[in-house]
Structures are given as structure tokens and as C-alpha cells.
Amino acid sequence: MTDPVRSVAFHALRAVGEKDAYVNLILPGMLDEHHIEGRDAAFATELVHGTLRRQGTYDAIIDHVASKGIGSIDAPVLDALRLGAHQLLNMRVPAHAAVSTTVDVVRREIGHKPVHFANALLRKIGQKDLDGWLAIVTKDLEGDEDRAVRTSHPLWIVRALHEALGGHATQIDKLLAADNVPPRVTLVARPGLSTPEQLPGTPGLLSPYARILDEGGDPGAIAEVRDGRAGVQDEGSQLVAIALAEAPLEGPDERWLDLCAGPGGKAALLAALAGSRGATLVANEMQEHRAELVRHGVRRLDNVEVTVFDGREGPWEAGTFDRVLVDAPCTGLGALRRRPESRWRRKPSDLDGLVPLQEALLTRALDLVRPGGVVAYATCSPHVRETRGVVDAVTVARDDVEIESTHQWWPHIDGTDAMFCALIRRR
């Protein structure tokens, strides 16, 4: 019988590849369905997440080893080979076990025809360690092309991140390495509902409301998280909400807007901060299923109105909000360490649709904020086109706004997702 842990890992990869599933959403349910827990669940999680993170490196090795190249391999077989390669090159699994269990997955889940091929290819891969293979598959590469294979990032993403870092070679190497280190779970205490001291873990590095769980900590087991008094939220996201809430403001400070609120983490923190000074928050989300996530996230707060509109066309009157957040839809290149499949799913052409949307949402936000009010434009992406490019394109066309500050957080520097935030004041 096929090892259920590896079988689940295989089917998780197939769901990512065939159905564009998000592994962090599907894998826990698959583990529960098969009653996999404890060390076996941890093994399955590392097997799936690690394989996805290092997929580009493994594909380069498989392409070198396969006589007809990687393009000749059917997708299910390729996913199984990637799982085997990860066990052989990056996990403490004996080579014979990595090969035999992967071949068994191929036999049971795919069929007998590719068994001999998979067995032979994995045995060849097992003849060298990762460094040995990297020396072979990168020997004719240099610069960003070499980095792309070694760190398992698409070349276009490496180049975009390198540009965002100002071309600094040392920084890009550190960032790409950080993208391949799974982040620890970070909690946020929502002011007025809980305090950081009530939560387990160690204090955050940058946010006064953050606690960082130790390895293996389960946020679902924490009462404050279960009942909505606290949440799971990266410190970078917390800092965006804090930056908007703490921006100096003259005059009324009563009505706040989160224009793109789903799934609701920033909205919940913003609402808690607003409530402490008697302000209300309109949390808007275009998609109903995401709006439902927002409602769940803010369920303990009574100063929030959740609305469902296209943020570019909602029914609000111009100049009626004191603070507005635009957490714009983006490529998500700043969260590659926690969403390993995203690096393979995104394409450069995605920017052609996202950037005009980002510009339209920021323009709408600046119309909705009152003179003297503040807009925070944020993306979980450091890509220049999505960050400073959008801010400059929108603000240069207006004479009624000024950029007060911009900030980019980084995984390798700040320990956060690569969040960007610009504070823009309406004159």
C-alpha cells in the first residue's frame, strides 16, 4: 500500500498544478481527511512546501538527467519526480527510501508504464548531492540566470527583485535565500480586545502588537485567535495599518475606509485602532466570499461596516473619509516565502492588468479622502511597477496631493513579507 503521507503530498501538488489550488488552504484538509497528524503531518507539510519552493532547481536537474528533457515528462510523473528529488537532495531521507517510496507513488497513483523511467531517473539524481548537481546545471550560467536556478525563482522575478533592491548583488542573494526559508507564524493582538502579553510566543521585531510563535505553534489552538480578539498576521501587514493609523491628522478623525479589505487582517487591526479613538471603519471588498472573510475577522468589533462594491465605483461621496487604505491587488511577490506556488503561477504579463487597476484604486482613494486626510497605498510586492511606479504615475497627474513617505520592508532585513507602503496626503 502506498505511504499515505507521500500520497497526500502527491495529490496536493497535483491540485496546485491542475486546479491552481493554494497549498496552505488545501493541505490541512487533506491531512485531516487521512488522519495524518503530528510528525507525519509535519513531514508532509515540509515535503509539499519544500518541493514547491525548490521546484525550479529540481526541474533544472531533472531536465539535465532526462534523456529527452523535462518537456517529454507528463505532469503527474513530473510532480512525483519533484517529490523524490526533494527527499534526495534536501531532506534527511535515506536515498533508497526516497527512491522506493516515490516509485511506489508512481505505480499506485499514475500506473505501471512510467515506473521504470522514474526509478532510473531518481537513482541517477541520488548519485550526487545538491551542490554537485548545482555545479553541473549552472556551469554555463552567471548573474541573475545563475541565481534563478540556484534559488529556484523564475528569472523574471529575480530580475524584478534585483531592480527593486537597486541592483545590489549582496542584497538580492540574501533576499532570494530568505524567500526559501519558511516564516514563523506571527500573531497580532487587536487593541481593546487583547494584549500581546496575553498571547504565546516572543515579542515581534517591529510591531508593538505582534507575537511570534515558536516552531510548531498552532494558532488555531489559541483562544484569543479562535474568538477574534487576535489574529494571524505578518508584521509587515501590521505595520501598514499602524502607519496609516498613526499618520498625523488635523481636524476630524472619525471615518476611515479600507477600500480592498479582503481577507480582513488589516481591516480588523485598523478597526481596533479606530475604535480606540471613537472612529468607524468602512471595510469594502469586491467579492462576496472575501467579504464574508472580512465579516468573520471583524466580528468582535462594533465600529465596522462591511460593504461589497468594486472599489473604483462604490457609492461613497468624495472627500468624506479621514483615512483611507488601499491594500491593492498585486502579484504577491513579497510573500513568496509563505506562498511557494505563487512564484510559478505569476507571469510578467500579469502586471499589465494589475498596474492600471492599482492606479485606478489609488486615484479613487485620493478622491474619497478629505483635504488634510491621508491615504496609505500598500502592496505585498516590491516590484517597481506596482510600488513607486503606481504612486508616481497617480500623484504626478494631480496638484492636490503630496507624498509624505514611502517605505519598503524586506524578509532578509526586517523579517517581514516584502510590504510596500506610501502615505499620501490630500491638500
pLDDT in single tens digits along all 427 residues of the chain: 568 999 999 999 999 999 999 999 999 999 999 999 999 999 999 999 999 999 999 999 999 999 999 999 999 999 999 999 999 999 999 999 999 999 999 999 999 999 999 999 999 999 999 999 999 999 999 999 999 999 999 999 999 999 999 999 999 999 999 999 999 999 999 999 999 999 999 999 999 999 999 876 689 899 999 999 999 999 999 999 999 999 999 999 999 999 999 999 999 999 999 999 999 999 999 999 999 999 999 999 999 999 999 999 999 999 999 999 999 999 999 999 999 999 999 999 999 999 999 999 999 999 999 999 999 999 999 999 999 999 999 999 999 999 999 999 999 999 999 999 999 999 9
Terminal C-alpha separation, the chain: 69
Under 8 Å between Cβ of 409 and 360: no
Cell matching residue 9: 503530498
- The overall longest dimension of the chain from CA atoms, in Å, is 74
Residue 189, beta-bridge partner list: 230
Location of C-alpha cell 531532506: 91
Report pLDDT for 218. Answer: 81
For 101-136, b/e burial (b = at least 16 CB within 10 A) is bbbbbbbebbeeebeebbbebbbebbebebeebbee
Q: 4-140, what's its fold?
A: N-utilizing Substance Protein B Homolog; Chain A (1.10.940)
pLDDT of residue 170: 94
Residue type at position 235:
E
**pLDDT given for residue 22 in this prediction:** 93
Q: Where are the alpha helices (DSSP H) in 138-234?
A: 143-151, 155-164, 169-179, 223-226
Cβ contact 188:213 at 8 Å: no
DSSP alpha helices (H): ranges in 304-410?
342-345, 350-368, 388-395
Report the alpha-carbon distance of residue 21 to residue 404 in Å, rounded.
39
Predicted confidence at residue 214, as pLDDT, reads 83
CB atoms within 10 A of CB 163: 14
Please answer whether residues 401 and 369 qualify as being in contact, where contact means their C-beta atoms are separated by less than 8 angstroms.
no
pTM of this prediction?
0.95
pLDDT the model gives residue 309: 98
Question: Contact 30/12 with Cβ under 8 angstroms?
Answer: yes
Q: Are 305 and 283 in contact (CB under 8 A)?
A: yes
Domain boundaries, the chain: 4-140, 234-426
Active site residue 421: no
Task: Return all residues near 181 (Cβ < 8 A) that are at least 6 apart.
Answer: 337, 411
Written as nine digits, the cell of 99 is 527512491
* 234-426 to CATH, choices 3.40.630.40, 3.40.50.300, 3.40.1390.10, 3.40.50.150: 3.40.50.150
Provide the H-helix boundaries in 259-369. 265-275, 288-297, 342-345, 350-368
Question: Which residue among the candidates 260, 330, 380, 421 is catalytic per the annotation?
Answer: 380
